[in-house]
A and B are shown apart, each in its own frame.
Chain A
Amino acid sequence: MRGLEYRGILRADGPIVIAENRENVGFSELVRVRDRSGQYRLGRVVDLSQQAVAIQLFSENTGISIEDAWVEYLEKPLTFRVGEGIVGRIFNGLGEPIDGYPPIMSSDLRDINGRPINPSARVYPRDFIQTGISAIDGMNTLIRGQKLPIFSGNGLPHNRLAAQIVRQAKVLRGESQFAIVFAGMGIKYDVARFFIDSFEKSGVLARVVMFLSLADSPSIERLVTPRTALTAAEYLAYEKNMHVLVVMTDMTNYCEALREVSAARNEVPSRKGYPGYLYSDLASLYERAGKIEGCEGSITQLPILSMPNDDISHPIPDLTGYITEGQIVLERELAQRGIYPPIAGLPSLSRLMKDGIGEGMTREDHRDLAAQLFLAYAYVKTVRDLAAIIGEEELSDRDKVFLNFGDRFEREFLAQGEFENRSIEQTLDLGWKMLSILPESELVRIPPRFIEKYLPHEAAAASTAGATAPAPSAPAPKEL
């Protein structure tokens, strides 16, 4: 009961506290535990019998003693207070303001776990978002309402890329309100600072809601952070009709926290010690992206995760890829060659691209052009492998052309400036320019009518002059 504290617990084991069941406690109910120094911690009921209650704390248990702990049951799940005032504010992972401004004035409390969207109430996402980045717009198009993670590795420029996407993202048609929700989990202060600065510079800071659970906050708090953030996003999208872009970083830290709790509960682990429900748990976050009927707004998710050891088959990227609608994979090898953004050509994928591009959305030739670029670039990889063995000189003439195509594709199409904002037409034209390096007979994935219409003349192709001059575009007002 609210206001009634019970003294003493039975056991404390990592983030799990066992207490006697002394009142009619509810499953998943929010619990407040006070230690001898008077400090409060929040937790959640995770198991419950007639005799005992298992509470999972959202912060460290240091300082909790068996005798001198006070437990209060709050009769509700963990909630977040929503209201228009949340925009422009900074909260901790639990949803408490940490920016020094007064608390949110609202009586509207939302269960941070949200509720699953009824599949028959979803609207299939189709609106193309132009990010101004060729590797994304041209090859792995981002769609409003999509969940598209960035698979990265330590030291790769995922933060710069995410910031560039936030800065440049816009839809081609229609005006509407937008907001950015940022959830930082276990990241360092300077990463958080980088994002704040970058939001400020592009003039969107006033439209950002931040949830920060930095590296020095208790790791368990990370389990709550994305849920609080997504609760804010759902409020803005589905009640305030805004287009919300949610950046969540670093999902790997979130998963580590989940593993920690699972181990503390002695659960049977599946791969690499992660709990068997990691998939369902991640899905309960990622599936909160989308669009619903009768509502203008949308939630687009851009989760960032670092792949341990750059291993894409590690359970974290693996299970993420099984849930999200594609992935943007950063490649160390490209980064080492100085290519920004180092977006891997082949393993990256946008699954919603298929319905958001083409005539009336981007351009009629988009789909076939992308398919051909993928096919050609895949062959480049084969040729490079061969060249590594027999030497470049020994390659057939055809293969040499592909090698040249591969290099230019990476240097001119994939690579671009951090402040370079290419229109979709520029991106597609550049793609055609790359294809013109190849003999026309190689373009089997493109119908002849597009080849006729879009393939530049030999002369243009031969010139190696810079494609689209890197024109740093002025940070114009953006929407998502």
Chain B
Amino acid sequence: MSTGSITRISGPVVYAQGLADAGLYDVVKVGAAGLIGEIIKLKGDQATIQIYEDNTLMRVGEPVECLHRPLSVALGPGLIGSIYDGIQRPLPVLKGVSGPFLAPGLAGEPLDSRKEWHFVPSISVGDPIAPGVVFGTIRETKSIEHRLIFDASVQASTAAYVAPEGDYTISATLVGASDGRTYGAVSYWPVRTPRRFKEKLVTREPLVTGLRVIDVLFPIAKGGSAAVPGGFGTGKTMTQHAIAKWCDADIIVYIGCGERGNEMTEVLTEFPTLIDPRTGRSLMERTILIANTSNMPVAAREVSIYTGITIAEYYRDMGYHVAVMADSTSRWAEALRELSGRLEEMPAEEGFPAYLPTRLAEFYERGGMVTTLEGKRGSVTIIGAVSPPGGDFSEPVTQHTKRFIRCFWALDRDLANARHYPAISWNDSYSEYTEDLVASWDAIDPAWVTLRTKAMEILKKERRLADIVRLIGPDALPDEQRLILLTADMIKDGFLQQNSFDRIDMYCAPPKQTLLLTCILTFHELAEQAIQNGSPLLTISALPIREKIVRLKSSLENERVQEGQAVIQEIRAAFAQLGTAAQGVISA
């Protein structure tokens, strides 16, 4: 252990000397209070350190102790359901130590070392120890089996000892290697280093979110990456909360990075009461929270997204599909900017350091569908909120993020103001996964592609017509074109708009998604015919069935989707009647 001393203090950035044998990115304990920091620059024996805690009253000359290991997370059973700060300190444990307010210098074990887990070995004495070998399993929650796997850092050897099936704490030795090393249920991995896998795969499986505008218009793949940019209050957090609740990932890592404390509390109070429709278990049993709120130390905010993604990769390596929500990547970028400013680096655009795009790329690159070292398929999907200043998407973080993601869910201020939620703009958003996902969606509903194309077409036509209407009013348009406006409104109100507080509509399963759109488009088709046959648009729009279609999303539960067929019959019947009525008028 080498010990140096502080030479300069500039906010969360501290300079120290006498650390000749320290390594870059090594963890250090700084000052008399032993605050946790990380070496971010080394020159001779001069180190530049960022501190993850409040360093008020720290003095020049105080000691700096290097721990000679990089900043790492503890990985093992007990992660699920936890809430950590940016450097994986367990917040409930800290609360036990210092009460409701966080104090500097607090420590707490990330994983409960007293809890016993039921271990079932899957190797025997004499079996090889190598990266990717599963040596046992632990049931972490009712739905998550925690697979204990030797990671890429393990030394190849053979097992000289394997603990028999039984209950163990995380500090117990579960496997002893012939080279004398021992292994337990907990391992450590440096947060800034991506965990290894065998190969990256093209992803063709959708991550079903239960949000119609995403799943049908701008779908995302498991292992994909998406950005949710939007000005304040447009619904980034709500969108991420909704996805975290209802998407069909096995595990959710939710990173509150420089955002509100109350939003984390909301997850903590709400998720345990919600039931995962797939497992029948509480949603908290698949969720891990990283909370480094806006008022917590900024350096820890910078590291929080790495802490989160490393945990996500760990579960991916067990063969799970993990979805990471990062809210907000802009606040992370700002933390970079603030630290870079303290380091007196040359700023590039808007004060951000020149390496911002590289860091963003590295982060999104850690997502993906992979073959794990063990040979399973696992994925990390990354969904990052972006908070552009003034809601202007031309700023650096949005622009650079766009280069590294393939789904862009642009939130629109006007939609949000009109309380059309989710305010995902159908004009400015895109998904580059659509083509890759066709086969998977075909399996869910072969009509998906046609429905989606038709809906997009109508919305596109409506946009052009809306420009005309804005100039001359809708009355000047012929009925066929006014029907486009009518149908587009039905798509917006009855399909795209989805209230997160509507008990029935907050989660929409794929069969209901296609049903709703089928109803609207059937109505449209029949209306087109009716207009050709001489029915005026006014009578069509006055059909009571139209209102029923628009209300269907909040009246029909996911489980009762078969009853939707009756609605389609009703639509046909309504138009058939309209036809006879019209005929009657003509023949009269």
Contact with B91, one of A119, A238, A325, A441 (Cβ below 8 angstroms): A119
Scoring A residues 220 to 260 as 1 if CB is less than 8 Å from chain B, else 0, what string do you get?
A: 00000000000000000010000000000000000000000
- B578 in the interface, Cβ–Cβ < 8 Å? no
- A411 in the interface, Cβ–Cβ < 8 Å? no
CA A394 – CA B502 in complex, angstroms?
38
- A188 in the interface, Cβ–Cβ < 8 Å? no
* Chain B residue contacts of A48, Cβ below 8 A: 8-10, 59-60
Q: Are the CB atoms of A116 and B295 closer together than 8 Å?
A: yes
Q: In the complex, what residue of chain A is closest to B469 when comparing beta carbons? A: A386
Q: Are the CB atoms of A122 and B262 closer together than 8 Å?
A: yes
* Chain B residue contacts of A47, Cβ below 8 A: 8-11
Q: In the complex, what residue of chain B is closest to A327 when comparing beta carbons? A: B233
CA A280 – CA B293 in complex, angstroms?
10
Q: In the complex, what residue of chain B is closest to A29 when comparing beta carbons? A: B57
Given contacts A24-B61, A48-B60, A346-B417, contact A120 B260 (CB under 8 A): no
CA A100 – CA B100 in complex, angstroms?
36
Q: Are the CB atoms of A325 and B472 closer together than 8 Å?
A: no
Scoring B residues 198 to 242 as 1 if CB is less than 8 Å from chain A, else 0, what string do you get?
A: 000000000000000000000000000000000111000000000
* Chain B residue contacts of A104, Cβ below 8 A: none
Query: Considering only CB atoms and an 8 Å cut-off, how many residues of chain A contact the other chain?
Result: 82
CA A271 – CA B347 in complex, angstroms?
13
Q: Are the CB atoms of B294 and A287 closer together than 8 Å?
A: yes
- A198 in the interface, Cβ–Cβ < 8 Å? no
* Chain A residue contacts of B341, Cβ below 8 A: 267-268, 276
* Chain A residue contacts of B10, Cβ below 8 A: 47-48
- A468 in the interface, Cβ–Cβ < 8 Å? no
Nearest CB of A to B539, in Å: 14
- B418 in the interface, Cβ–Cβ < 8 Å? yes
Nearest CB of B to A384, in Å: 12
- B547 in the interface, Cβ–Cβ < 8 Å? yes
- B478 in the interface, Cβ–Cβ < 8 Å? no
Nearest CB of A to B59, in Å: 5
- A28 in the interface, Cβ–Cβ < 8 Å? yes
Q: Are the CB atoms of A116 and B293 closer together than 8 Å?
A: yes
CA A293 – CA B474 in complex, angstroms?
56
CA A447 – CA B59 in complex, angstroms?
64
- A25 in the interface, Cβ–Cβ < 8 Å? yes
- B261 in the interface, Cβ–Cβ < 8 Å? yes
* Chain A residue contacts of B584, Cβ below 8 A: none
Q: Are the CB atoms of B291 and A119 closer together than 8 Å?
A: yes
Q: Are the CB atoms of A116 and B101 closer together than 8 Å?
A: yes
* Chain A residue contacts of B91, Cβ below 8 A: 118-121
Contact with B499, one of A114, A124, A315, A371 (Cβ below 8 angstroms): A371
- B337 in the interface, Cβ–Cβ < 8 Å? yes
Q: Are the CB atoms of B94 and A26 closer together than 8 Å?
A: no
Given contacts A119-B91, A120-B95, A279-B331, contact A27 B262 (CB under 8 A): no
Which chain A residues (337-386) contact chain B, with CB distance < 8 Å?
Answer: 346-347, 349, 351-352, 354-355, 367, 371, 374-375, 378-379, 385-386
Contact with B59, one of A26, A117, A267, A323 (Cβ below 8 angstroms): A26
- B381 in the interface, Cβ–Cβ < 8 Å? no
CA A367 – CA B264 in complex, angstroms?
23
* Chain A residue contacts of B469, Cβ below 8 A: 386
* Chain A residue contacts of B57, Cβ below 8 A: 26-29, 75-77
CA A125 – CA B61 in complex, angstroms?
45
* Chain A residue contacts of B475, Cβ below 8 A: 394, 396
- B166 in the interface, Cβ–Cβ < 8 Å? no
* Chain A residue contacts of B547, Cβ below 8 A: 441, 444
CA A26 – CA B60 in complex, angstroms?
7
* Chain B residue contacts of A276, Cβ below 8 A: 334, 337-338, 341, 351
CA A374 – CA B551 in complex, angstroms?
18
Q: Are the CB atoms of B294 and A279 closer together than 8 Å?
A: yes
Residue among B94, B262, B391, B471 facing the most chain A CB atoms (10 A cut-off): B262
- A111 in the interface, Cβ–Cβ < 8 Å? yes
- B444 in the interface, Cβ–Cβ < 8 Å? no
- A197 in the interface, Cβ–Cβ < 8 Å? no
Nearest CB of A to B8, in Å: 4
Query: Considering only CB atoms and an 8 Å cut-off, how many residues of chain B contact the other chain?
Result: 75
Given contacts A119-B83, A124-B269, A294-B100, contact A396 B473 (CB under 8 A): yes
Q: In the complex, what residue of chain A is closest to B328 when comparing beta carbons? A: A322
* Chain B residue contacts of A318, Cβ below 8 A: 231-232, 389-391
Which chain A residues (1-56) contact chain B, with CB distance < 8 Å?
Answer: 21, 24-29, 46-50
Q: In the complex, what residue of chain A is closest to B261 when comparing beta carbons? A: A119
Scoring A residues 74 to 118 as 1 if CB is less than 8 Å from chain B, else 0, what string do you get?
A: 011100000000000000000000000000000000010111111
Scoring B residues 461 to 475 as 1 if CB is less than 8 Å from chain A, else 0, what string do you get?
A: 000000001111111
Nearest CB of A to B268, in Å: 7
Q: In the complex, what residue of chain B is closest to A283 when comparing beta carbons? A: B294
- B435 in the interface, Cβ–Cβ < 8 Å? no
Nearest CB of B to A25, in Å: 7
* Chain A residue contacts of B249, Cβ below 8 A: none
CA A428 – CA B439 in complex, angstroms?
50
Q: Are the CB atoms of B293 and A287 closer together than 8 Å?
A: yes
Q: In the complex, what residue of chain B is closest to A47 when comparing beta carbons? A: B10
* Chain A residue contacts of B417, Cβ below 8 A: 346-347, 378
- B522 in the interface, Cβ–Cβ < 8 Å? no
* Chain A residue contacts of B573, Cβ below 8 A: none
- A189 in the interface, Cβ–Cβ < 8 Å? no
* Chain A residue contacts of B295, Cβ below 8 A: 116-117, 280, 283-284, 287-288
- A194 in the interface, Cβ–Cβ < 8 Å? no
Q: Are the CB atoms of B95 and A390 closer together than 8 Å?
A: no
CA A352 – CA B260 in complex, angstroms?
12
Q: Are the CB atoms of A118 and B101 closer together than 8 Å?
A: yes
- A71 in the interface, Cβ–Cβ < 8 Å? no
Residue among B92, B265, B334 facing the most chain A CB atoms (10 A cut-off): B265
CA A269 – CA B389 in complex, angstroms?
14
CA A311 – CA B56 in complex, angstroms?
36
Q: Are the CB atoms of B418 and A378 closer together than 8 Å?
A: yes
- B103 in the interface, Cβ–Cβ < 8 Å? yes
* Chain B residue contacts of A371, Cβ below 8 A: 419, 499
* Chain A residue contacts of B419, Cβ below 8 A: 371, 374-375, 378
Q: Are the CB atoms of A125 and B100 closer together than 8 Å?
A: no
Q: Are the CB atoms of A269 and B351 closer together than 8 Å?
A: yes
- A313 in the interface, Cβ–Cβ < 8 Å? yes
* Chain A residue contacts of B148, Cβ below 8 A: none
* Chain A residue contacts of B102, Cβ below 8 A: 115-118
Contact with A119, one of B9, B231, B293, B420 (Cβ below 8 angstroms): B293
Q: In the complex, what residue of chain A is closest to B83 when comparing beta carbons? A: A120
CA A319 – CA B388 in complex, angstroms?
10
Q: Are the CB atoms of A270 and B95 closer together than 8 Å?
A: no
- B554 in the interface, Cβ–Cβ < 8 Å? yes
Which chain B residues (376-397) contact chain A, with CB distance < 8 Å?
Answer: 387, 389-392
Q: Are the CB atoms of A280 and B499 closer together than 8 Å?
A: no
CA A371 – CA B59 in complex, angstroms?
55
Q: Are the CB atoms of B472 and A323 closer together than 8 Å?
A: no
- B76 in the interface, Cβ–Cβ < 8 Å? no
Q: In the complex, what residue of chain A is closest to B292 when comparing beta carbons? A: A119
CA A347 – CA B60 in complex, angstroms?
49
Given contacts A279-B334, A321-B232, contact A270 B60 (CB under 8 A): no
Nearest CB of A to B340, in Å: 8
- B280 in the interface, Cβ–Cβ < 8 Å? no
Contact with B264, one of A115, A119, A295, A326 (Cβ below 8 angstroms): A119
Contact with A28, one of B56, B231, B338 (Cβ below 8 angstroms): B56
* Chain A residue contacts of B298, Cβ below 8 A: 277, 280
Please give 15 more A-B residue pairs, beta carbons under 8 A apart, in addition to A120-B91, A276-B334: A26-B57, A116-B101, A116-B296, A117-B261, A118-B102, A119-B83, A120-B95, A120-B291, A124-B265, A238-B100, A280-B258, A280-B298, A323-B294, A355-B266, A389-B472
- 6 closest A-B pairs by beta carbon, nearest first, are A378-B418, A283-B294, A313-B390, A26-B57, A321-B232, A121-B100
16 pairs, A vs B, C-beta closer than 8 Å: A26-B57, A28-B55, A28-B57, A47-B9, A115-B103, A117-B100, A119-B293, A279-B334, A283-B294, A283-B295, A293-B95, A322-B232, A322-B387, A349-B233, A352-B262, A386-B473
